[in-house]
Structures are given as C-alpha cells and as structure tokens.
Amino acid sequence: MSRRERKTARQACSDEVIKEARRRIDNGESKRAVAVSLGMAESTLRFRLQQPHCATKLGRYDTTFSKEVEEEFCKHLNTLDDMFYGLTPKTLRRAAFEYAEINKIPHRFNRETGKEWLRGFLKRHPDISIRQPTSTSIARAVGFNRPQVERFYINLSALMDKYNFPPQSIYNMDETGISTVPNKQPKVLSRKGKRSVNKISSGERGTNVTVVNAVSATGHFIPPVFIFGRKRMKAELLDAAPPGSVGMVSDSSFINSDLYLDWLTHFKDHVKATKEQPILLILDNHVSHCTIKAVAFYRENNIIALTLPPHSSHKMQPLDRGFHGALKKFYFSECEKWLRNHPGRAITVYQMALIFTPAFHQAATTGRGVELFKCTGIVPWNPNIFTDLDFLASVVTEREDPEENQNTQSVVQARSSLQISSAPLADLILLPKSTQNRSSNRKHKNSEVISSSPYKTQLEKENEQKNVPKSEPKPKKIKTVSKPKTNNKKKIWRCGGCNEVYKEPILEDWIACNTCKEWWHENCSDYNGSGAFICDLCK
C-alpha cells in the first residue's frame, strides 16, 4: 500500500454527513440549503440520499480485515497491554498474517503483514500507538492483587472507626534517593544530522544521598532528613537546606534500623502526637520499620503505624504516586542551572542541599499533598479507587493471601469480568497464564498494624525463637576399621616321613612337596636330586 495523499475532496462524502443531512431535511430544511451548508452540490446530495449505502469506494484497494475484526484486534491488544504482556509490532504483524491464513481471507502478505499495513492500522485506530514500556518486576506485578489491597483498606477503615483520625493526623513517610549526576538529561536544541549530542554532568557516576520525606493528608510536609554515605557528619553538608532539615550518616547512605529510630524522634517532635489525638503513620513494610525497638517507639509516643501491602508502593504509596517523581524532576533541573552558572565545576555532596532546597519548595505544595492521599483512596477513604484493570497483571498467577481466603470470591469475579470473546486471534495469541505452582515456605508479608499488641507479641516470639541457642549436635560415632588379625604364631613344620619338628639350626636337608607344599627330610623321601619333588602321600 502506498502512502499517497488525497489531493481533492472527490467522493469524500461519509455516512455521518449523509445522516446529518437526512436529519436536517426531516426537520424541514430544504435540500438546497442543506447541500450548500455541507459544501456539496445539490445533485450529489439527492443522489446520495437515494443510495442504500452512503459511503463509496475510493480506489481499487480494500482493507484486508473488516472493521469488526480490527476492533477485535484492538480489544485483544489492550487486554495484553493491561496484563503487562503487550505485543511488539513484529508479533502483531505475524499474528495478523496467521489470522488471515486460518480464516482464508484474501491478502497480499508474505509470512507477515507489511509495515504499510501496520501504519494504516494505527492510523485507523488512533487510540493505539507504539510506546516504550517501563520494566516491571514480576513481584510487583503479581504482588499488587485485590486480596492484599482489600486487606489494607479494611485495616484502614478499622483504625479510622476506632481513633477517628482527622486529615491533619494522617501521615505517609517514604525514602528516595538523589544523586549528584542526573539519571536522565533534558532535551536540548541541536542541529539535524549530528551524530552525538552531549551535555556536561558532574561525573560518570554520582554520589547517592537518601532523603526521607513525610507528608500529611492536609499537605503539611515534615522537614526532610538527609542520609549521607560517610563516617562523620559535617555541618557544611546542610548549608542552605530546607529549614528544620536533619543530617545523618551511614556506611551505605541507606536507612537502617538505628537511623529510622532517629527519624522517628525527628517526626515525633514535629507532629506532637498525644494520647487523646494519636497520629496515623502509613509506610511500607521495610525491615527497618518493623523492629521491636520501632514498635516500642510507636506505642510509647502515640503513633499508630499501618504498613502498605508488599510490592504496591507504585500504586498505593502517596509520596511515590506524585511527589518523588516531581521532586527529582525539579532537582535535576536545578542541577542543570547550577552547572550552567558554575562552568568548570562539579556538583559534590556539599552543594546537594543548596540545589535540593528550591526543588523541594517547588514540589512540596499543599495542593499536591492533598492530591497524593486522594489518588490512593486514603483520604477520603475510597476502597474502590482501583478497578479490575489495575489488578489484571496479577491474574496471570492469581496469588491469594494465605490468611484471607474469604477474599477468593472477589478474585474469581474480577477474572470472569475480564474474559474476552473467543475470537480466533485470542487462539493465536493466548492470554498469559502461569503454569508454575509457586510454593514457598517463606512467610508472605501483608498489610499490618505494626504498632498493635498482637503484632508486638508475634514479633517478640519470633525474636525469642531466633535467640534460642541451637542444641549442639551430637558427635558422630566414628567407625574404627579394625585391622585384620594376623596370626603371629609361627607355623610348626613336621617332616611327612618321620614326623620330626623343624628346628634351627638345621642339621639335615629339607625339601617341600611340589603338590601339597609339605616339608620332608631328604633322607625320608625317595627324591633323587633331579626334577620336581612329589611326596609319597601325593603320588
């Protein structure tokens, strides 16, 4: 198929235009007035009104597949895309060829449809385009399932009913990393045809710094905490940082159990939780958040901690949904400004706080903070914020919450509502379905109220079991292989003729029988001195 563009409006009358003309004529307008307003000759309009089919064929070529078949293609493509198994253009072209072959549809393809067919297909269906996907781990795709999400909203509802938290008492905390070198450079203007377009950065690999943020449902942001990868903290590292910021150090620049307790102290000083009005803290189930010391801190300082389902931060973590991405975008923009204003210099950890501050103020707005909790269904409480399409990727394996079997029915209903019609294309490109039975002895994590007494008791029992000294293994009995007993007694030899015992020193000559190996005196035998000796008993 060529990409020849139309140069005239000849035979450009469509079904929609004729339907509009019929409607206006039925309402009392004249055919001439309708034809003039629609930009066509009156004779053409009269002729089209008499035809059973308004649309006319342009040229001598038809599309290979009908409109209904292509709609089925689009439906199947969207389903696979929602399951994170989207088709590549090459796969679609081969599947379309096989579809035409099986259904005996006349075509001009050779093993696969051409690029022109794909271009025309995308033009006829502008809602589908070729996109660059983002790699998503199987754990994240499968972990975000309906039973896990429903468990979180049930826990959240129970806490809201018990404590009646106002929006200003609901917080979310999360960590993110910033670097001295941007992960992605902004687009720049350059001349066409240039092979390599470069832009200055501070180094090949940047220095990572962890930033811990927290925000309330009313858009109040707690001053951030910076975790530097070093041994000693220096005051210069926080020059021009946001007011109230705190600096910490660790060997890896990542948060650990001890630093998390320090952050909790920083958080407690800003939220002022009381027994009459506790604070709800929503966070992920990182190991540093669920230690015995952290649980004790929650209980002592009136903090109710609720964890999110595992592998669901990309959907349910408010700070991940709309803050950290914008923060990094503004931060990298500030890095570009700093490098432009300081040519020949590189960004180090001593300039990071200075560059981070304007980016933080741009991103940490009240309106953004309110929308973060709204889009995750936390404030206002909306357990139906996620639709069946959001859980479609987890249908591939259909993992169930081992402690919430009562939610199995909802998973089955979700899957049944997503079945597509049994079209031949669905037989050529099957929906992904895991055939591997993933069984593991490892305990699966769930959304938990980790500040509650049952969780604290469970955690203490697990730690006690870990601290119980293992019984020393009994020493294995070593089998000693005894040496075969050897008879050290010398054999007593007797003469076969006279029965005299062999003694030393030898006074007479002895000779052994060649058959029985018994010894004889030469004088007692009939041996003549030549050949082999055979005793009288063996003859």
Q: Which residue has the higher pLDDT, 54 or 465?
A: 465
Q: Is 10's pLDDT higher than 70?
A: no
Question: 54-68, 334-348, 380-394, 465-479 — which one is most confidently predicted on average?
Answer: 334-348
How many C-beta atoms lie closer than 10 Å to residue 452's C-beta? Answer: 18
Residue 309: C-alpha distances to residues 142, 283, 305, 405 (Å) = 12, 10, 13, 16
Confidence of residue 366 (pLDDT cuts 50, 70, 90): very high
- Give me the pLDDT at residue 181, please: 92
Mean pLDDT, range 339-345, rounded to an integer:
92
- Give me the pLDDT at residue 537, please: 76
Which candidate, 129, 21, 145, places its Cα nearest to that of 83? 145
Mean pLDDT of the chain: 82
- Give me the pLDDT at residue 251, please: 92
Name the pairing type of β-strands 279-283 and 303-307. parallel
pLDDT, one tens digit per residue, over 465-484 is 777 666 666 565 555 555 55
Question: Under a CB-based contact definition with an 8 Å cutoff, are residues 48 and 54 in contact?
Answer: yes
Residue 382: C-alpha distances to residues 157, 173, 174, 378, 389 (Å) = 10, 20, 22, 6, 17
Q: Is 423's pLDDT higher than 50?
A: no
At 453, list the tokens: 């007494």
Sign of CA dihedral 340, 342, 344, 349: negative
Mean pLDDT, range 401-411, rounded to an integer:
43
Question: Under a CB-based contact definition with an 8 Å cutoff, are residues 63 and 125 in contact?
Answer: no
- Give me the pLDDT at residue 307, please: 93
Confidence of residue 408 (pLDDT cuts 50, 70, 90): very low
Confidence of residue 421 (pLDDT cuts 50, 70, 90): very low
d(CA 224, CA 211): 6
pLDDT, one tens digit per residue, over 199-219 is 888 888 889 999 999 999 999
Least confident among 257-261, 295-299, 304-308, 442-446? 442-446
- Give me the pLDDT at residue 200, please: 86
Q: Is 163's pLDDT higher than 80?
A: yes
Mean pLDDT, range 375-400, rounded to an integer:
80
Q: The pTM is what?
A: 0.67
- Sheet of 170-179: strand order equals 246-250, 221-229, 208-216, 170-179, 279-283, 303-307
The separation between the first and the last C-alpha atoms of the chain, rounded to the nearest angstrom, is: 113
Q: Is 505's pLDDT higher than 80?
A: no
Q: Is 296's pLDDT higher than 50?
A: yes
- Give me the pLDDT at residue 9, please: 60
Confidence of residue 50 (pLDDT cuts 50, 70, 90): confident
Mean pLDDT, range 309-337, rounded to an integer:
92
At 450, list the tokens: 């980790």
3-state helix, strand, coil in the chain (%, to 5): 40, 10, 50
Q: Is 229's pLDDT higher than 70?
A: yes
Confidence of residue 404 (pLDDT cuts 50, 70, 90): very low
- Give me the pLDDT at residue 412, please: 37
Mean pLDDT, range 66-91, rounded to an integer:
86
